[in-house]
Amino acid sequence: MTKKIIEKLLAEKKYAQIKDILSALNEVDLAALLEELDEKDMVKIFRLINKQEAALTFSYMNSKMQETLIKAFTEKELKEIIDDMFLDDAVDFLEEMPANVVEHILSITDKETRSQINTLLAYPKDSAGSIMTVEYVDFKKEMTVGEAIHKIKSIGVEKETVYTCYVIEQKKLIGIVSAKDLLTSSDDSLIESIMETNIIYANTFDDQEDVAKLFQKYGFMAIPVVDTEHCMVGIITYDDAINVLQDEVDEDISIMSGMTPNEDSYFGTSVFDHAKHRILWLLVLMLSATITGTIITRYEDAFSAIPILVSFIPMLMDTGGNCGSQSSTLIIRGLAVDEIKLNQVFKVMFKELRVALVVSIVLSIVNGLRILIMYKNPMLALLISLSLVCTVIMAKLVGCLLPMLATKCKMDPAIMSTPLITTLVDTGSILIYFQIATHLFHLS
Amino acid sequence: MTKKIIEKLLAEKKYAQIKDILSALNEVDLAALLEELDEKDMVKIFRLINKQEAALTFSYMNSKMQETLIKAFTEKELKEIIDDMFLDDAVDFLEEMPANVVEHILSITDKETRSQINTLLAYPKDSAGSIMTVEYVDFKKEMTVGEAIHKIKSIGVEKETVYTCYVIEQKKLIGIVSAKDLLTSSDDSLIESIMETNIIYANTFDDQEDVAKLFQKYGFMAIPVVDTEHCMVGIITYDDAINVLQDEVDEDISIMSGMTPNEDSYFGTSVFDHAKHRILWLLVLMLSATITGTIITRYEDAFSAIPILVSFIPMLMDTGGNCGSQSSTLIIRGLAVDEIKLNQVFKVMFKELRVALVVSIVLSIVNGLRILIMYKNPMLALLISLSLVCTVIMAKLVGCLLPMLATKCKMDPAIMSTPLITTLVDTGSILIYFQIATHLFHLS
């Protein structure tokens, strides 16, 4: 909609009207609009955006568009954008750019910004350091509330958040003051008297996911980051934490469905990349499923003698797979949100065992009755019911143990989910089924 | 750790020391500590918590503990806690209490609070209204920044957030002023001159998940809620939005693994409840998997003639299931984050079709070669390769179509995931496999 209007106005060179429309849009929506336009129009429209909104809009755009814009920018325009961007956004953006572009950009920024950017770029991917910003407001404990508010007024507009301010003494973090405390205290109170000293903080090398979980647990707006000497080096804000949480969920869900995680969008990923992300697990699982097939061939005599045996294979395999995947999903989520701990492995096993008993007895009764009615064959009903009970118990135990084992081996437990569990449980169900069949029907 | 120390100090009646420890803990951690203690100790310790922290700690506790505490409280204590709680926390808490407890609590709160709580309790579950609070700071556009700050100072301490304030004219929302704007503007500027007028807001009856997505998209700290007449009625804060996002993800993941969603924790759910949440889908899927079995019996002659045919059933079924679940997961996530729209169904199908071709050709070549080498049987290799190509294409198309169809029918697309897709795709793979086998090997 807006896209068509903008293109029409652009063709008619009605720039003032375009500016009016643009100024009514939030930066996130501006970025989305620009991404819809073709390159030439996009550059033209970007130059019509209010100066205050340009940098933020730029940081919301995707890397491809950012690169296009940079190529079109004059050196002056580029410097302005980088200077106006929040430091953590600038770092996120630079991380996606080719080396020569990064070099060019760093060469035109001033010395202080350059050194700050370089420090942030050096933190390992996925560490707290890599998502923090060094732009925060710091106070001394001897300041009064009035002085503190004055400090915010003079410098705060450049800082990413002014809502949580930090009290620093000899580079160490000694207290936290919220803007709410400042606004609701009298001007002559001392910072020392209103600051919170029980501080929850992160270390620069903490995993970003662990830091994001702190936001979720405590509902903070910002968390301070300290280095190994406990000196304050930056803050992480809640908007970055929400993104980390969402990315981690997407990553887990991908792995749980047997795909390599992919940060790009569905339509933004090419057919070959989609295939690449999916083929590895499919190959592994396809080849391991042939093991189940090989086991079946060992029981050729059994199903030659009683051909109906074959027809229960899909039902047993599917039920086993579904039971296993229910358990593994619960355990993977429980581990992810820290509700289940590794030392509770026996508690989990005991719980799953009891659940498996209840579930498998219900399934066995329903299926046993169905077979009795349909085939009037009590031995067959007994075989399927017994196999179901054993399969469900085996599936639930495998489903809860493997994710915990993966965590113990410092692997992502999400790997041990539906596809892998299904394949493993399949082999187990077939073995159980034909073993019981061989005994019940005295085959070979 | 802390629990043991607290219990020891409590036995020794060293209350002053306990108070010191408690005051060093964040309210979230205090609530977690209380939940570990036995009931009697818990009530005693709760009474030792600082008055300012008691209400917030209470709102972080689980409903069972809250109910225990309420029973132990005097009327005066109860009234204090409710008055000190944020209104949205109080509503969350009351929603979990039995009707007689709710009545008792409402009877001792003052008239205004009671009427506000009743209004909030009346909104439908999962609506924006049900998670909003009516405690926000409002300004008039004629006020100066100095007057606005003075207003926050006098009333802000009771409001859930003072960081985003709302400019109201005749009950209508006309602008937003952030605390940052207030702190960084001169005292005599008019609110009208600094307020933001492009407002992103929610309606009381919007789905809470849609509102939570606004937070994720724009990174806001609070979003105003208006009623059908566009009058401002409340705000939703980002901490509630994070919880909604997380709950929705957990719900989706549960459904995607064939379980009824459950808000309680893994260990907090009884064995029978666990079984209840898992049995429904297992039954449905077990019975539908018997269809696949019935189809197999129709091809009894085929696998009696060539018994090795049976051994490829697990591999084909698993590969089909995995391919289908990869596609359905991608589409379910894409729909959940609004990246894929319903009208893009043909675009999605075309993409999945091409991915399926690439993937299936690779799988066919690998498996075909394996069979050629192991069985030296070119017809068998051809049969499996052809079946794989058809199965993968069918699985990917079913996997992408069903979630979109569910959405079209106003159902949760997450239902159309791994377990259901697997069962459907199984039937398809078996049909494809035996059809091709019958033709290739001229089996009647």
Domain A138-237 fold is CBS-domain (3.10.580)
- The chain A residue lying nearest B214, using CA atoms, is A28
Domain B2-122 fold is MgtE N-terminal fold (1.25.60)
Angstroms from B330 CA to nearest CA on chain A: 7
A217 contacts chain B (CB < 8 A): yes
Ranked by mean pLDDT, the top range of A66-80, B235-249, B346-360 is: B346-360
**Cα angle value B35/B37/B40 (rounded, 5°):** 115
A10/A40 Cα distance (integer angstroms): 11
Q: Which chain B residues in 341-400 lie under 8 Å from chain A, judged by CB atoms? A: 344, 347-348, 351, 354-355, 358-359, 362-363, 366-367, 370
Report the pLDDT averaged over residues B15-27. Answer: 86
Tell which residue, A416, A426, A364, has the closest CA to residue A394: A426
| Domain locations along chain B | 2-122, 138-236, 271-440
Confidence check: pLDDT of A161 > 80:
no
A248/A207 Cα distance (integer angstroms): 12
- The chain A residue lying nearest B57, using CA atoms, is A218
Residues of B in contact with A258 (CB under 8 A): 322, 325-326
Contact A347 B184 (CB under 8 A): no
- The chain A residue lying nearest B354, using CA atoms, is A271
Residues of A in contact with B333 (CB under 8 A): 250, 253
Contact B319 A289 (CB under 8 A): yes
Task: Give the contacts of A410 (CB within 8 A, at least 6 positions apart).
Answer: none
Confidence check: pLDDT of B418 > 80:
no
Which pLDDT score, from 0 to 100, does residue B262 have? 77
- The chain A residue lying nearest B242, using CA atoms, is A216
Is the pLDDT higher at A88 or at B432? B432
Question: Residue A146 burial (CB < 10 Å; 0-12/13-18/19+)?
Answer: middle
Contact B271 A25 (CB under 8 A): no
Report the pLDDT averaged over residues B256-262. Answer: 79
Residues of B in contact with A243 (CB under 8 A): 216
Report the pLDDT averaged over residues B132-158. Answer: 85
Contact A323 B249 (CB under 8 A): no
A126/B402 Cα distance (integer angstroms): 35
Confidence check: pLDDT of A411 > 80:
yes
Q: How confident is the model at residue B444 (pLDDT cuts 50, 70, 90)?
A: low
Residues of A in contact with B422 (CB under 8 A): 318, 321-322, 422
Domain B138-236 fold is CBS-domain (3.10.580)
- The chain A residue lying nearest B360, using CA atoms, is A279
Confidence check: pLDDT of A55 > 70:
yes
Angstroms from A325 CA to nearest CA on chain B: 6
Percent of chain B exceeding pLDDT 70 equals: 98
Q: How confident is the model at residue B383 (pLDDT cuts 50, 70, 90)?
A: very high
Which pLDDT score, from 0 to 100, does residue B357 have? 94
Q: In the A/B pair of chains, how many CB contacts fall below 8 A?
A: 320
Report the pLDDT averaged over residues A99-125. Answer: 84
Contact A310 B296 (CB under 8 A): yes
Question: Residue B326 burial (CB < 10 Å; 0-12/13-18/19+)?
Answer: buried
Contact B297 A311 (CB under 8 A): yes
A350/B81 Cα distance (integer angstroms): 40
Report the pLDDT averaged over residues B389-416. Answer: 89
B91/B108 Cα distance (integer angstroms): 15
Looking at every residue in chain B, the average pLDDT score rounds to 87
Confidence check: pLDDT of B119 > 70:
yes
Residues of B in contact with A399 (CB under 8 A): none
Q: Which chain A residues in 268-327 lie under 8 Å from chain B, judged by CB atoms? A: 271-272, 274-275, 278-279, 281-283, 285-287, 289-290, 292-294, 296-297, 300, 303-304, 307-308, 310-315, 317-319, 321-323, 325-326
Q: How confident is the model at residue A157 (pLDDT cuts 50, 70, 90)?
A: low
Confidence check: pLDDT of A209 > 90:
no
First to last CA, chain B: 74
Confidence check: pLDDT of A1 > 80:
no
Confidence check: pLDDT of A427 > 70:
yes
Angstroms from B100 CA to nearest CA on chain A: 31
Residues of A in contact with B239 (CB under 8 A): 219
Q: Which chain A residues in 132-171 lie under 8 Å from chain B, judged by CB atoms? A: 149, 152-153, 156-157, 162-163
Beta strands in B215-356 (DSSP E): 222-226, 232-237
B56 contacts chain A (CB < 8 A): no
B21 contacts chain A (CB < 8 A): no
Q: In the beta sheet, which residues pair with residue B168? A: B173
Report the pLDDT averaged over residues B48-66. Answer: 86
Report the pLDDT averaged over residues A376-393. Answer: 93
Report the pLDDT averaged over residues A220-237. Answer: 89
B197/B205 Cα distance (integer angstroms): 23
Confidence check: pLDDT of A390 > 90:
yes
Contact B355 A267 (CB under 8 A): no
Which pLDDT score, from 0 to 100, does residue A156 have? 66
CATH code of the region A271-440: 1.10.357.20
Cα-only R_g, chain A = 30
pLDDT digits 0-9 by tens, B291-306: 888 888 888 888 888 8
Question: Residue A140 burial (CB < 10 Å; 0-12/13-18/19+)?
Answer: middle
Percent of chain A exceeding pLDDT 70 equals: 98
